[in-house]
């Protein structure tokens, strides 16, 4: 680089300097003031090698402009880098974020004009973790913000709030590990999340911010619990739970993975404990039936249907036999959905926690059964019912009598049967159930066929036939039952009728859904508002007037090790007096699960400051239900099901006016980390192609940097050895994989509007997609082009003009047509949450606008309005520069004029002597003469027409132009 020929240019906005420092590139030398504020330079670009290479920027002083390259390279390590901006987002975005905050632009008044339509758009309650946001989180938040801004501009009253699901195990574990009170870490995390969300320009009404850890909020969570208690929907029972000794708490099934806690990897066992339960099963039918009315993804509704698991069948009694084969008084009741197959039941299976198991098991088998029970206690329900896992079990040493066949059948203990589902026992029909067949085959238990397919086809050898059909081998005249030859449905009805007649069973509707385990042995949760009288142990509700029952301050949050919750250490808080009787009492020391506060928060957003009731009836009636609820599919069952349950209880007691809380649920796709390239190596360290690695057996893997990779066809290969195919895979973002992208870095480098736009442009909103940092440069260029189209290019000193380039000229018909097509497309795609195609329409508009000689103000203003929901900072700045003193946020969203959406031109085929030689573009209603003139001027058609004698023209408007030449006057060979 020849430094002596470098041209000097002043740094944008730099004050006069006595001793300036300079940054230079191969194109220019820019003065860099020593007192430059950090806002002028992207922090993520400071000292970044790839940026130095991209821009060729190195720090150098004026006195050393003729220094050697080595001296310059040495000094560049100590100087910050000046980053070129496509537009000044680093000035625009903080400016408008301050404006919105100072003017409370997005505040939804408590008393809105209820004559206007409403739009309540909500993000699923975030848990404020210490890690902060990664770029996957804003995907849903950006979508709801686009919708919120869009609907405001369409004249809706919009409710778009944000709050924090702030109780829970992670904060408590951090408190135990560090000795920091969980409230301190939670508040710090909330502040971090809030600042990140504000930096992205989301239009939340921060006046309505709520947090589950605030007593003013959980007062009403406790109040809801008391309403459940009054109605018998909250009760105590001894149930088997997932107990983690290390964490000192009960864990939900989804918090246990492979027998250990998801957090910390601690062993988890199953043990019976007295727990608070909520009777969600009382609402099972309503939860099932009302799904049909919801605008939810069908996959989510199906997951809820399966979780509720309603089935119709029968309960049948099997009598336990003694060692001599005689009937005893003990009976095992099983639930079956296929009573038609009862003659094929060749064994029974009871759960390891089955209540009568200790009475059934033989002396010889007791030790084996107890050992098996211990192993099963360390597995979660999800693990035990996993269809793909290998079946395990142990013989009880005892038999029961099949009530229909009269045959003795063995009783087995197996963990694929759950004590909490049905009766905790099943009749196993291995010929007609794949799971039973696998078990019977493994343990050599007889398999008896009792159903043949309706079409008489043969069943594949070694497999069960689980379908319906014609019943065979199912008759016992001694007990008065013969179902041979009947269809499965007819046989099932007859078996139930027989069982009820002889007192062996009854018809039964069953559910997979279990009552909700509602207690946690944790400190960091809502206190349960119940006391126990010391003399009798009777449980009594805390008076509603005494709510909130606040969480006491504790310094020691560690588990007691005995199963007693940490709150048992708050001795002075535990001891109390029953206000009704004056008797000594103790408080409940379990706390509510994290699910509690998130079950009803959407209601509190409607009326967050109300100290007299959960929500004002008129406000709830106006805002309910939530119009659009956006969040991850991982909440498909539990959170959504629990919220629906609580909502229905509140509906029954008159607190809410709708049967369902969420009208429309949308699950955004997952943003995966950038593609990772992996090469396979043999044991000698030699690269081998990924397509042949499996044949090798054992092989090593090595992460390959992107610069060493090239695409070859559909695959990726080593650049220096194309024969080595690589594994290319994107993973979900996680700290453990080191593929997390911090949105703060992206905002610093490209701006918040670019991040918002890229997340919406990556692909269909509901689909998973892979993050690609280079991909954001495309939308950033689009925003830069938009800025330059309206504002112009930078002036000679690097700054941009204050105003715009727009003119007051009347727009042309073509400009209006281009605009209104864009309006129609953006409106339609935004309404349908097809944000990526809405952005594409705006890009097409900008491409077209660059071809115009003038940019009429009427056209540009309408486009800026279209851009506003997606890139609000830029839109606000452009709107201001266009001469508007107020925010763009509540300006009317443009409406497409149908007159400009109609195509004004048609493609007209042109024939010469009946043979099509080309086409021309003509206006609708074009005359024959005009069409002929255009054809004569067409480069391809002119050689057939110009100078040729014409006999006649046949013209069908909008359809065809056929020119018949006078062949007698045309020289031979002139027509090709």
Written as six digits, the tokens of 369 are: 């059964």
Main-chain dihedrals φ then ψ at residue 466, nearest 5 degrees? -100, 0
Strand pairing report for 269-278 and 234-244: antiparallel
Contact 250, 621 (CB under 8 A): no
Looking at residue 770, what is its pLDDT? 84
Selection from 903, 932, 902 nearest residue 920 by Cα: 932
163 beta partners: 210
Q: How far is Cα 906 from Cα 915, in angstroms, rounded to an integer?
A: 20
CB 896 within 8 A of CB 818: no
Measured CA distances, 902 to 179, 541, 730, 817, 958 (Å): 69, 69, 44, 9, 15
Could you tell me which of 817, 809, 890 has the C-alpha nearest to residue 854? 809
For 392, other C-beta atoms within 10 Å of its C-beta total 17
For residues 796 and 30, give the distance between their C-alpha atoms in angstroms, rounded to a whole number.
Answer: 12
Task: Write the CA distances from 789 to 753, 786, 851, 885, 893, integer angstroms.
Answer: 17, 5, 10, 21, 21
Please report which helix (H) or strand (E) contains residue 756, including its range: helix 752-761
Residues 958, 908: contact at Cβ < 8 Å? yes
- Go through 121-146 and write b for each residue having 16 or more CB atoms within 10 A of its CB, e for each that does not: bbbbbbbbbeebbbbbbbbbbbbbbb
pLDDT value of residue 694: 66
- Provide the sign of the torsion angle of the four alpha carbons 539, 545, 546, 549, taken in this order: positive
Q: What is the C-alpha to C-alpha distance for residues 431 and 231, in angstroms, rounded to an integer?
A: 45
Measured between its terminal Cα atoms, the distance across the chain in Å is 60
Q: Which residues contact 970 (CB under 8 A, 6 or more apart)?
A: 948, 949
Cα–Cα distance measured from residue 443 to residue 441, given in angstroms and rounded to the nearest whole number: 6
Those residues with Cβ within 8 angstroms of residue 612's Cβ, 6 or more apart along the chain or in another chain: none
pLDDT at 393: 95
Name the phi and psi angles at 304, rounded to 5.
Answer: -70, -40
Angle at which helix 835-849 crosses helix 776-790, to 10 degrees, equals: 40
DSSP state of 244: E
Cβ within 8 Å of residue 8, ≥6 positions away: 22, 28, 29, 31
| pLDDT tens, position by position, 116-162 | 999 999 999 898 887 788 777 899 999 999 999 999 999 999 999 99
Task: Determine whether 102 is exposed, middle or buried from the number of CB atoms within 10 Å of its CB (0-12, 13-18, 19+).
Answer: exposed
**Geometric angle at alpha carbon 458, from 457 and 460, rounded to 5°:** 135
Helix (H) and strand (E) counts for the chain? 29, 43
Phi, psi dihedrals of residue 473, rounded to the nearest 5°: 50, 40
Q: Residues 26-58: pLDDT tens digits?
A: 333 333 333 333 333 333 333 333 333 333 333
The token pair that represents 111 in the structure block: 């008393």
CA–CA distance from 279 to each of 239, 272, 510, 520, 647 (Å)? 14, 18, 15, 17, 14
Work out whether the CA dihedral 144, 145, 148, 154 comes out positive or negative.
negative
Say if residues 806 and 856 touch (Cβ distance below 8 Å).
yes
The parts of the chain modelled with pLDDT lower than 70 are 1-84, 254, 382, 387-388, 561-562, 694-698, 733-739, 968-976
The greatest distance separating any two alpha carbons of the chain, rounded to the nearest whole angstrom, comes to 125
Tokens of 761: 């442009």
> Among 608, 611, 609, 603, which residue's Cα sits nearest to residue 644?
603
DSSP 906: E
Find out whether 347 and 445 touch, Cβ atoms under 8 Å. yes
Cis check for the bond before 625: say yes or no (omega within 30 of 0): yes
Give the start-end residues of each E strand in 13-73.
21-24, 29-32, 58-61
Which residues 6+ apart lie within 8 Å of 442 measured at CB? 391
Please name which of 935, 936, 967, 937 lies closest in space to residue 952, comparing C-alpha atoms.
Answer: 967
Q: Which pLDDT belongs to residue 736?
A: 56
Structure tokens, 735: 């700290």
User: Are the C-beta atoms of residues 718 and 687 closer than 8 Å to each other?
Assistant: yes
Report d(CA 263, CA 673) in Å as an integer.
22
H or E segment at 744? helix 743-750
853: phi then psi, degrees, rounded to nearest 5: -75, -35
Domains of the chain with CATH codes = 83-98+793-902 (1.10.730.10), 99-215+595-667 (3.40.50.620), 310-510 (3.90.740.10), 671-744 (no CATH), 905-965 (3.10.20.590)
Kindly give, in sequence order, each residue whose CB lies less than 8 Å from that of residue 591, ignoring residues fewer than 6 positions away. 167, 519, 520, 522, 523, 524, 525, 526, 527, 528, 551, 565, 567
Task: Return the pLDDT at 83.
Answer: 43
Choose among 799, 705, 252: nearest CA to 520: 252
| Strand 311-321 to 269-278 pairing | unpaired
What is the secondary structure of 463-489 as a DSSP string?
S---S-EEE-S-EETTTTEE-TT-BHH
Phi/psi of residue 75, each to 5°? -75, -30
């Amino acid at each position: 680089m020849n430094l002596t020929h470098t041209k000097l240019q002043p740094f944008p906005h730099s004050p006069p300097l006595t001793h300036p420092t300079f940054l230079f590139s191969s194109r220019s030398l820019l003065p860099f003031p020593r007192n430059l504020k950090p806002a002028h330079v992207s922090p993520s670009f400071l000292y970044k090698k790839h940026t130095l290479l991209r821009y060729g920027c190195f720090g150098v002083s004026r006195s050393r402009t003729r220094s050697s390259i080595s001296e310059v390279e040495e000094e560049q390590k100590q100087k910050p880098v000046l980053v070129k901006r496509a537009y000044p987002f680093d000035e625009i975005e903080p400016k408008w974020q301050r404006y919105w905050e100072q003017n409370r632009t997005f505040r939804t008044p408590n008393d809105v004009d209820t004559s206007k339509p409403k739009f309540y758009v909500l993000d699923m309650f975030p848990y404020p973790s210490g890690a902060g946001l990664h770029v996957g989180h804003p995907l849903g938040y950006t979508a709801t913000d686009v919708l919120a801004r869009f609907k405001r501009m369409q004249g809706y009253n919009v409710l778009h709030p944000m709050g924090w699901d702030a109780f829970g195990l992670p904060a408590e574990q951090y408190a135990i590990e560090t000795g920091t009170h969980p409230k301190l870490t939670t508040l710090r995390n909330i502040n971090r999340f809030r600042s990140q969300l504000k930096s992205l320009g989301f239009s939340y009404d921060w006046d309505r911010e709520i947090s589950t850890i605030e007593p003013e909020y959980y007062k009403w969570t406790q109040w809801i619990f008391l309403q459940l208690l009054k109605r018998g929907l909250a009760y105590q029972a001894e149930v088997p739970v997932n107990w983690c000794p290390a964490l000192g708490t009960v864990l939900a099934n989804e918090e246990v993975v492979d027998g250990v806690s998801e957090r910390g990897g601690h062993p988890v066992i199953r043990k019976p404990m007295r727990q608070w339960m909520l009777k969600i099963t009382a609402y099972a039918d309503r939860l099932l039936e009302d799904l049909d009315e919801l605008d939810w993804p069908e996959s989510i509704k199906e997951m809820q249907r399966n979780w509720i698991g309603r089935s119709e069948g029968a309960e049948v009694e099997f009598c336990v036999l003694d060692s001599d084969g005689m009937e005893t008084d003990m009976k095992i009741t099983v639930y079956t959905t296929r009573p038609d197959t009862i003659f094929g039941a060749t064994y029974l299976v009871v759960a390891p926690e089955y209540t009568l198991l200790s009475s059934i098991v033989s002396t010889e088998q007791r030790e084996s059964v107890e050992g098996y029970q211990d192993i099963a206690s360390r597995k979660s329900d999800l693990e035990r019912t996993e269809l793909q896992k290998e079946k395990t079990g142990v013989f009880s040493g005892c038999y029961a009598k099949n009530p229909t066949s009269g045959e003795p059948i063995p009783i087995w203990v197996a963990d694929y049967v759950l004590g909490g589902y049905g009766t905790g026992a099943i009749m196993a029909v291995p010929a007609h159930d794949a799971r039973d067949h696998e078990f019977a085959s493994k343990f050599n238990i007889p398999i008896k066929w009792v159903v043949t397919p309706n079409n008489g086809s043969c069943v594949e050898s070694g497999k069960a036939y689980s379908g319906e059909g014609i019943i065979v081998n199912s008759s016992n005249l001694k007990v008065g039952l013969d179902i041979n030859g009947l269809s499965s449905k007819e046989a099932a009805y007859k078996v139930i009728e027989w069982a009820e007649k002889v007192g062996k069973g009854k018809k039964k509707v069953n559910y997979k859904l279990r009552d909700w385990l509602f207690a946690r042995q944790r400190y960091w949760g809502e206190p349960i508002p119940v006391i126990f009288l010391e003399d009798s142990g009777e449980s009594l509700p805390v008076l509603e007037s005494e709510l909130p029952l606040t969480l006491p301050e504790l310094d020691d949050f560690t588990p007691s090790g005995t199963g007693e919750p940490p709150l048992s250490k708050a001795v002075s808080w535990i001891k109390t007096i029953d206000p009704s009787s004056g008797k000594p009492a103790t408080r409940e020391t379990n706390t509510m699960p994290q699910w509690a506060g998130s079950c009803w928060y959407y209601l509190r957003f409607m009326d967050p400051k109300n100290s007299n009731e959960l929500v004002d009836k008129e406000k709830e009636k106006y805002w309910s239900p939530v119009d659009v609820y956006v969040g991850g599919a991982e909440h498909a069952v539990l959170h959504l099901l629990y919220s629906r349950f609580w909502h229905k209880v509140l509906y029954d007691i008159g607190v809410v006016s709708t049967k369902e809380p969420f009208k429309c649920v949308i699950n955004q796709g997952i943003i995966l980390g950038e593609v990772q390239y992996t090469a396979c190596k043999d044991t000698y360290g030699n690269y081998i192609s990924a397509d042949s690695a499996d044949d090798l057996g054992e092989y090593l893997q090595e992460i390959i940097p992107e610069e060493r990779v090239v695409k070859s066809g559909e695959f990726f290969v080593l650049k220096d050895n194309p024969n080595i195919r690589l594994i290319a895979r994107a993973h979900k973002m996680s700290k453990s994989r080191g593929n997390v992208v911090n949105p703060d870095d992206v905002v610093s480098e490209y701006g918040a509007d670019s991040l918002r736009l890229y997340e919406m442009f990556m692909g269909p909103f509901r689909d998973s997609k892979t993050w690609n940092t280079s991909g954001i440069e495309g939308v950033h260029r689009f925003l830069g082009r938009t800025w330059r189209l309206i504002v112009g290019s930078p002036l000679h000193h690097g700054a941009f003009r204050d105003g715009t380039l727009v003119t007051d000229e009347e727009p042309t018909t073509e400009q209006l047509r281009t605009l209104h097509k864009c309006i129609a497309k953006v409106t339609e795609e935004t309404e349908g949450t097809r944000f990526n195609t809405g952005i594409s329409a705006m890009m097409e508009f900008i491409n077209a606008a660059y071809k115009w000689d003038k940019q009429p103000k009427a056209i540009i203003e309408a486009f800026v309005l279209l851009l506003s929901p997606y890139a609000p900072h830029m839109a606000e700045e452009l709107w201001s520069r266009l001469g508007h003193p107020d925010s763009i946020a509540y300006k009317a969203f443009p409406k497409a004029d149908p007159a400009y959406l109609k195509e004004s031109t048609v493609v007209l085929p042109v024939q010469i002597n009946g043979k099509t030689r080309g086409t021309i573009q003509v206006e609708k209603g074009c005359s024959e003469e005009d069409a002929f003139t255009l054809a004569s001027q067409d480069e391809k058609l002119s050689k057939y027409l110009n100078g040729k004698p014409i006999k006649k023209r046949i013209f069908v408007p909008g359809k065809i132009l056929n020119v018949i030449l006078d062949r007698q006057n045309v020289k031979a060979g002139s027509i090709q």
